[in-house]
Structure 1
Amino acid sequence: MATTFADQLRSLPDEALGALIQLRPDLVVPVPADISALAVRAQSRNSVARCLDGLDEFTLAILDAARLSRAADTALTSVDAILELAAGVPEDDVRLAVDRLRVRFLLHGPPEGLQVVGAVDEVTSPYPAGLGRPADFLDPRAAVLCADRARLRRTVLAAPPGARAVLDRLAAGPPIGALTRESVAEPVRWLVEQHVLVPVSETGRTPHPDGDLVELPREVGMLLRRDTGPLGMLRPLPPIPDGPARDPKAADSAGAGQTMEAVRATEALLESLAAEPAAVLRTGGLGVRDLKRLAKAAGIEEAGAALLVETAYAAGLLGESESGQSPSQDVFLPTVAYDLWRATGIAHRWATLARAWLAMTRQPGLVGRRDERDRPINALAPDAERAGAPLARREVLTALADLTAGSAPPVDDLLTLLAWQAPRRARGRENVHRDALTGAALLGVTGLGALTSYARLLATAPEADGSDPLGVHPEDAHADAVRALDRLLPAPVDHILVQADLSVVVPGPPEPELAGELDVLAEPESAGGASVFRVTPASIRRALDVGYQAADLHELFRRRSRTAVPQTLTYLIDDAARRHGGLRSGSAGSYLRSDDEALLAEVVADKRLSTLDMRRIAPTVLVSPRPVARLLGALREAGYAPVAEDAGGTTVLTRPKARRAPTRTPRIAEPSGPVLTGPRLAGVVEQLRRGDLATRAARRAPVTVRAAQGQAVPGLTAVQQHTQAMAVLQQAVRDKVRVWVGYVDSHGATLSRLVRPVSLSAGYLRAEDERGESLHTFALHRITAAVTED
């Protein structure tokens, strides 16, 4: 009963109660008022289901053994009964599994009288271990057959081949099969006539010859499992994947190279968006054409571009901003945080991407697929949102981290291991796990199929030592991963190699200062371990436009180049500098002046500039009604090299203005629950003990009911207790105990009543009032609180 369960929790020492809270942290979110409220929450459907989701295959099988071995009259089992069903498995493994269930209070009571928490039957399959219900529950004739073991064995051995195949299939579980007219005709009809199979309806217990379903009785299923045991094949140990072993150093080197490629591709994607922003679709997300353009600009496949775009958005490097041409149309642009991100080292940049990928609640692998309405799923669209994606990535990386360093298991073997570790959670999530492995390989989290050493540090959460009561760790938890990766990456270089064909080779990742100089001085041609740039007349003119002088460029190449500067580059710089600034423009609309009258005559006669409507107002001055920016652009397109000047004749230096989206704080969704250790855990346990003492000392209606009625009570709110009311009532119906119910009547008055719940369905609670010997019906939406009589 609930009272007995609560008393068991009260009798626990503080260390054991703290261990329960650590294993099931949802029990204290929010912190219950007392031990009784904690007991109710521990037996609720949601909490039990969440706890079962984290159990492995063998522990769940032992829980099924506990359900199967319960006595019909007392509903109790024992450790010895569980060991009998799990014969063939080492006894120590079974006892360890039982202890795992008991410490989580899915089983409670003494070893000789264990009780399964009631909600377990409600949130798990009605057929424990894939076995059907007892024959005496299904059909009296089947019960008579199963009672005679020898007759049952002879009947099964006499089954025709088709009927035996049906039996073997149902014996493997689940024990339910659908009836069709064709199937009733031959093998199934024979089994039904022999009472080996029992026709049942959807509701479970209306046997008739042409029922909707057939069920294999439990006794028959256990007979057919005589070789494997009543519980089927049991695997007390996880199936270790048998894959090739990589050299950890080789895996780290391959992963480090991939991290450089991932950072480079992300930067190329964002630079392409900065140069040509992509419009946000009406339904949200990035268009297919824009994604193809970005993938081509970065030199990667569309699937990889989708992953990096999603990761950059999750990291806050990419955002949405209004378009300059149409204020109603939003576009995707790099954010201000992108400029700060570019100024850091490669290891820090990769860590930002990897942490965002681990925590983002999106599944990039869905991009390009079709949704349930047969519409394509676009990158950054709402359809790719998946709340379970962060936990799936953590599960994959944790499974890889638990293997020997350098292990590169096949994908199918790793999925088998994940299915053993958490079968309830892994069911139907194979695609999510495959996408997680693909993303890990693309981002350099894995190398040659094995988890890298620096990613192992990133994926392993630091253990709290309890030294900080607030749980705040001043040191970055991922700093070790950054340092480990930094040691594997080639050192940033501060020099270049200038070739005779004006190509510039950077033998390694450039320092931020050198990278900024190369962005202005040269055009990128290829990227990799050694990137290649090319100096062109346009790039030299761009450098002069932003303020470099010819002497500055000569000095820069002389200082940065480890090879002799070719004479062609010197001539190119001098020629561009000589022509640069030969024309001066200003506002008239705009004007153009030059000491070279022949040059101005050439400009006036140039038919390509006829749209500027220029006219000569002095031998050395031309004016135009067009704006200065348009005048400069047209002159440069025609091959001239003008510069702008202000009203005093001083040269105006211009640098292209980078458009940026507003800074956006990335949303981080940690898959794990609250971490309670040290003083924080001790404080929760102390609060529960104090609340329990206060509640048990009260001589009136429970404090939770009084709080729900609006009475002033310390440390409680009506809203918090109302969320527990349904769980309390469900448990009370199962245990047939009395509860205090707080409710609001039809006149708006708040009342409380001590009743014994009978049923909970169709939006109403039906309960007996033993004092008035009457039956009351309460509308569930009017119930404000419910607490068991303690």
Structure 2
Amino acid sequence: MATFTGYLRARSDDELVALLVRRPDLATPHPATLASLAARATSRASLDRALTWVDALVLQVVEAVVVLDGPRAPTRADLHVAVGATGADAPVVDRAVDDAVALALVWPDDEGALHAAPGVGDALGSSVAGLAPAADGTTDAPLADVADAPAGAGPVLDALTWGPPVGLVPPPGAPGGEAVRWLVEHGLLERGDGRHVVLPRHVALTLRGGRTHRAPALAPTFADAPVRDTATVAAESARAAEQTVRLVRQLLARWEQTPPGVLRAGGLGARDLRRTAQGLDVDDAHAAWLVETAASAGLVADDGEETPTFVTTLEADVWAAQDLAPRWAVLARAWLTSARTPWLVGGRDERGALRSALDPELTRPWVPRLRRAVLDVLASAPVGAAPTPQDVHAALQWRSPRSVPPLTAVEAILADAARLGVLGAGALAAAGRALLTGDDAAEALAADLPAPVDEILLQGDLTGIVPGRPGAELEDLLDLAAVVESRGGAVTVRFTADSVLRALDQGTTADDLLARLAAAARGRVPQPLEYLVRDVARKHGRLRAGAASSYVRADDPALLAGLADDPRLAVLRPRLLAPTVLVADASPAELLAALRARGLAPVAEDARGAVVHAVAPERRARARGSRVAPVRERPLPERAAAVVATLRRGDAEPDAHAGRTGGVRSGSVRSGAVPSGGGPARTGRRGAPTDEGAEALDPVDPADPGQDADSLRARATGVAQRTAASRARRGATPPSSARATSDGTSEPGALLVLLREAAQARTSVWLEVVGPDGRSQRRLVRPLKVEGGRLRALDEQREAELTVAVHRIAGVDPADT
């Protein structure tokens, strides 16, 4: 197990399944062999993805292995020293090493020494652990000369020791210039270009005492975070959840009556948002969040008409019929999985345009992952702990130091979670924890909600007090006929003529309203409230409006007296057609509003004279399918196990064929190799390369169904064996011959891994390259980097650097040492 590919082959099935679960990109699409898996695991894209989500301590361990991986590979004990771990830190450092090994970023050999996976060093960048790139042929820095250095040399070395290793050269005559010049002359610094100097890696390690990091990056704790009482957290979470559900319900009711328009570029206009915020008695930012959450839950949508508007959907009717806890769970799940960024509403984009709510451009694919990460940080804190946004941001920075989210996004997500009720008093509530873990969030919230109250204390001053959270029926009654004055531990409402008129306009009679009030009241309905309801009902409907453009008629001519000459109605141009009929050049709605502003109480009627209650027609649109809905497929561990089984079969097939053909692995086939003479190879039938005493490839019949890939591979291996035997009889086996060794390969997956391993170890390989004319050429090179489908290598014999497309490489063999 001297290579990374060999290490993967030696891992158990359970370990390979764990690797594919933690790095799912390795299994998509399915690799055919373990060599292909190794090539994919060492590709730049996969390594970047894996390194992005490791925590700071795992990243330190990987950096330490990359720095110390040389002629003598580091052990776990060496890593403890390198990251500055003490005895108490050893278990967490070992945990980080285990994580790095499980992710195949680091692999152990048979002696227990640790090696970095090929390509990890390039993925980490040129300044690993704040050190300069490694150079060949370095020796220990003569630190004894520092005592003779001029003043200022010590501070220069101190500034560069722990990185970054590059500094600016002081201008001539500036303090420190002489010290920098002395350090360069004595090899303690190197010139990078005309303006910069670099602290060599071996010098920095010597100054650091052999360590790669000052101290291990331990996970932050929330020891200083305030701890809230469990009852307080539950009460605050329930209050916020109830408020959010109520506000969304009011939002749907308002948009059902007056749907707002859709901007030409998509989204909700600023005036409509401000109007909605005023109607809900919240600020614009809160209103934007409510609108975005309702849209994410599929409760409002663009109706798609020629003049589009945002209307409530059919799903909104189903949502409104549920209890409070299930309604909240729908909103909470939609918020958690939504890719929307409502905190950007009201700001300016890069073009200077105002960002509007429901703007299609406010989608960010990383937002759901960040929401889960924030809640996971809160879940890892002690129960009841309420960390600040800065504490949460620091924890996220430790969890993924290569992908740190902006602090503003973390603050916005915490504010949204508090509005929703996922948090209570700044701490993660039970409902939020259930939402994160996938448990029944509705049940968790229901356990924290206070019992609903179905009675109201009606008072003689036309007010009422609900001592707790109103039940569903009582909430409907209060929305219908009262105005809420305050909410808290109790709800205070007031009955006014306008609120009673609103109830009558929706078809409720005075007797029905008083009966519902009496059923909900603790005691009898106060006389002032009964008088109010009867008085408004007596006036209600005495006047009826219709369309002529619109008209008003009354049984009593005295009721219409003076209306035609009223200057307040002049804009409507009212005219008396008869003592009991008046028409106006306005819509019925405008005429009704004007008459009510004058103190009258008219009602609308249809063409047959029947009363039409002032209820806007219901408009519904079908919600569009959510783009964030998970794909229904097998669980990841099961799929990973299936991939591992495929890998084992694919890895066993070459061995089986090798056994049938004399023990030579099919991966070492060389096609189109150049003979030792250096000239073009002589070809036999179908242009197959031949040599003296070697047999040409038999013709292949494409119509023969029995010739599968395995049989062709076996036949090709046999040809390679016979060619090698022929050359052995002649005693001609130069480096340019088409050898078939188990150390080399022509399989694309294994080829890439072999090149990456050679680049990491800085060793040379024999490279077989096919030119544009189809001829192959064999060159001894030292790979430098394999990235983007190209190999950059150094040809030391020709003292030249070359770049080769990987698809032109026919085979790779390690150079003889």
TM-score range, shorter chain: 0.7 to 0.9
Deviation at 1:199, TM superposition (A): 0.9
Q: How many residues are paired up?
A: 715
Distance in 1 (CA, whole Å) between partners of 2:618 and 2:810 is 61
Distance in 2 (CA, whole Å) between partners of 1:683 and 1:311 is 39
Alignment match, 1:430: 407
Deviation at 1:120, TM superposition (A): 0.6
Deviation at 1:124, TM superposition (A): 0.4
1:257 aligns with 2:239: yes
- The equivalent position to 1:532 in structure 2, one of 492, 507, 510, is 492
- The equivalent position to 1:595 in structure 2, one of 555, 568, 579, is 555
- The equivalent position to 1:583 in structure 2, one of 524, 529, 543, is 543
Distance in 2 (CA, whole Å) between partners of 1:273 and 1:153 is 80
1:734 aligns with 2:772: no
- The equivalent position to 2:160 in structure 1, one of 162, 170, 174, is 170
SS at match of 2:453: coil
Alignment match, 1:448: 425
Cα distance change, pair 93–673 in 1 and its aligned pair in 2 (3 A): farther
- The equivalent position to 2:503 in structure 1, one of 509, 523, 543, is 543
Alignment match, 1:352: 330
SS at match of 2:493: strand
Pick which of 665-674 and 414-423 moved more.
665-674
Confirm or deny: 8 A CA contact 1:740 1:754 kept in the other structure. Answer: yes
Cα distance change, pair 689–785 in 1 and its aligned pair in 2 (3 A): farther
Alignment match, 1:308: 290
Equivalent residue letter for 2:131: L
Confirm or deny: 8 A CA contact 2:573 2:584 kept in the other structure. Answer: yes
Alignment match, 1:242: 224
Pick which of 752-761 and 728-737 moved more.
752-761
Alignment match, 1:686: 645
Equivalent residue letter for 2:642: G
Alignment match, 1:418: 396
Confirm or deny: 8 A CA contact 2:269 2:356 kept in the other structure. Answer: yes
Alignment match, 2:204: 221
Equivalent residue letter for 1:163: A
Cα distance change, pair 592–786 in 1 and its aligned pair in 2 (3 A): farther
Equivalent residue letter for 1:63: V
Pick which of 61-70 and 280-289 moved more.
280-289
Cα distance change, pair 626–115 in 1 and its aligned pair in 2 (3 A): closer
Confirm or deny: 8 A CA contact 1:62 1:98 kept in the other structure. Answer: yes
Alignment match, 2:387: 409
Pick which of 597-606 and 682-691 moved more.
597-606
Matches within 5 A, 1:280-429: 280-281=262-263, 284-288=266-270, 290-321=272-303, 327=306, 330-369=308-347, 371=349, 377-381=355-359, 384-426=362-404, 429=406
SS at match of 1:423: coil
Confirm or deny: 8 A CA contact 1:241 1:409 kept in the other structure. Answer: no
Confirm or deny: 8 A CA contact 2:166 2:197 kept in the other structure. Answer: yes
- The equivalent position to 2:177 in structure 1, one of 185, 190, 194, is 185
> RMSD of the TM alignment (CA)?
4.5
Deviation at 1:121, TM superposition (A): 0.9
Confirm or deny: 8 A CA contact 1:401 1:456 kept in the other structure. Answer: yes
Confirm or deny: 8 A CA contact 1:239 1:420 kept in the other structure. Answer: no
Distance in 2 (CA, whole Å) between partners of 1:116 and 1:493 is 65
Equivalent residue letter for 1:684: V
Deviation at 1:592, TM superposition (A): 4.8
Pick which of 22-31 and 299-308 moved more.
299-308
Matches within 5 A, 1:350-749: 350-369=328-347, 371=349, 377-381=355-359, 384-426=362-404, 429-460=406-437, 477-479=438-440, 481-585=441-545, 592-601=552-561, 611=572, 613-616=574-577, 632-646=592-606, 648-659=608-619, 662-668=622-628, 675-677=635-637, 679-693=638-652, 731=753, 733-735=755-757
Matches within 5 A, 1:116-127: 116-127=116-127
Structure with the greater relative contact order (CA < 8 A, sep ≥ 6): 1 or 2? 1
Larger radius of gyration: 2
Alignment match, 2:679: none
Distance in 1 (CA, whole Å) between partners of 2:484 and 2:84 is 69
TM-score (norm 1): 0.77
Equivalent residue letter for 2:21: Q
Distance in 1 (CA, whole Å) between partners of 2:358 and 2:811 is 46
Matches within 5 A, 1:8-19: 8-19=7-18
Confirm or deny: 8 A CA contact 2:551 2:583 kept in the other structure. Answer: yes
Deviation at 1:546, TM superposition (A): 2.6
Equivalent residue letter for 2:756: R
Distance in 2 (CA, whole Å) between partners of 1:753 and 1:154 is 54
Distance in 2 (CA, whole Å) between partners of 1:454 and 1:103 is 33
Name structure 1 gaps, 5 residues minimum. 202-210, 461-476, 703-708, 716-724, 769-774
SS at match of 2:469: coil
1:59 aligns with 2:58: yes
SS at match of 2:412: helix
Confirm or deny: 8 A CA contact 1:506 1:530 kept in the other structure. Answer: yes
Distance in 2 (CA, whole Å) between partners of 1:259 and 1:53 is 35
Equivalent residue letter for 1:100: D
SS at match of 1:533: strand
Deviation at 1:542, TM superposition (A): 2.9
Deviation at 1:29, TM superposition (A): 2.1
Confirm or deny: 8 A CA contact 1:239 1:416 kept in the other structure. Answer: no
Deviation at 1:405, TM superposition (A): 0.9
